[in-house]
Structure 1
């Protein structure tokens, strides 16, 4: 889909799980000349289970921080990927030149059951994010 240098933004409601995992994968899998960030329409901190499941595949996102959408960065993006309907619906308006993708992935932070069951959901979402990022180039 994209091959040359790009500015990419992953957006989610809280910027705590899905968008953070996407940022981590993108920084590892996409070309080094890409500028990649993630943000949310709210800030809720980095989910420890997201950190854990990413570490399982060799990606350390523990230093990433939950941040609010930066309107200036957003306006200069080549590609914006929303990972939940709330972020898609509440995302500020962007110029027509900004390509938008929507990946309607379940929120792993809403997973129920014991810790093992919750981690299964985190891993499923993590693996789906990896597959979609690999398809970007």
Structure 2
């Protein structure tokens, strides 16, 4: 496991379809660490943009217009010093594909809000919970401190 006191310079987030959890984590990392960390995301399988992600991230002031879902193969990048997986399939794939690389892989089990049913309000709340859980975990893991006020 990576030393939590050493700040990674390049992080890859992987989830199942790069439509919900990993793009949220990527966007939150970009927002919290705008110039300090190179960040990307991908999925094990090809997915499609999720409008609930756009909506809950917009509520938090985070623009998701940059995001296009992609697979690990689509990404075709290396050199990450930390890979954070957010789904079991992603974790297994990351361990398998990086076994000969010097990269730390961490598994952050994260609920998939797409399985929630009910009203729009109930579904939005599930997505908000994932957003906030990821934000809190990122802040803790990456030793985030608030920027000085001007």
Alignment partner of 2:66 out of 47, 58, 63: 63
Distance in 1 separating the partners of 2:30 and 2:120? 28
Matched residue, 1:103? 108
TM-score by length of 1: 0.90
Deviations 1:47-72 (A, max 9, x none): 11011000001001122110111475
Q: Distance in 1 between matches of 2:72 and 2:30?
A: 18
- Report the structure number with the largest CA radius of gyration: 2
Higher RCO, 1 vs 2 (CA within 8 Å, ≥6 residues apart): 1
Aligned to 1:93: 97
Q: How does 1:1-137 map to 2 (within 5 A)?
A: 1=4, 3-4=6-7, 6-30=9-33, 32-70=35-73, 72-73=76-77, 75-91=78-94, 92-94=96-98, 95-135=100-140, 136-137=142-143
The TM-score with structure 2 as length reference comes to 0.83
Gaps of 5+ in 2: 144-150
Question: C-alpha deviations, 1:90-116, integer Å up to 9, x for none?
Answer: 234214521111110110111111111
For these two proteins, the number of residue pairs brought into alignment is 136
Note the residue ranges of structure 1 that are not aligned, 5 or more in a row.
none
